[in-house]
């Protein structure tokens, strides 16, 4: 029988950031997510939203200031996802 880690591809094999962000969430890989946190402004809308959603992995101390910035976004979907993630903590 295969383990879940046998099925999931390596991050470098994934072309879309949104797929990688969701895999990072599934694997609880905070390190991968931190690499994209600072450069979120240059991501496309769906990639940005996946990174925001996956940010629930961050500790509360790391998440709060960053998610508050995302919750003030002018994009209503980004704002909604950020408020949802904030509500999880």
pLDDT, one tens digit per residue, over 64-85 is: 999 999 999 999 999 999 999 9
Long-range contacts formed by 75-79: CB under 8 A, 24+ apart? 75/45, 77/45, 77/49, 78/45, 78/48, 78/49, 78/52
pLDDT at position 2: 43
**What distance in Å separates the CA atoms of residue 55 and residue 24, rounded to the nearest whole number?**
10
C-alpha closest to that of 20 among 52, 43, 44, 51: 51
Stated pTM of the model: 0.81
Domain positions in the chain are 9-88
Residue 52 confidence class, pLDDT cut points 50, 70, 90? very high
- Dump pLDDT digits (tens) for 14-38: 668 888 898 889 889 898 888 888 8
pLDDT at position 38: 86
């Amino acid at each position: 029988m295969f383990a879940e880690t046998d099925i999931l591809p390596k991050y470098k094999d994934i072309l879309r950031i949104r797929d990688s962000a969701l895999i990072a969430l599934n694997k609880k890989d905070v390190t991968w997510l931190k690499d994209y946190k600072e450069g979120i402004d240059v991501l496309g809308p769906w990639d940005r939203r996946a990174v925001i959603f996956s940010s629930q992995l961050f500790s509360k101390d790391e998440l709060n200031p960053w998610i508050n910035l995302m919750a003030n976004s002018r994009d209503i979907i980004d704002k909604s996802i950020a408020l949802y993630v904030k509500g999880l903590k």
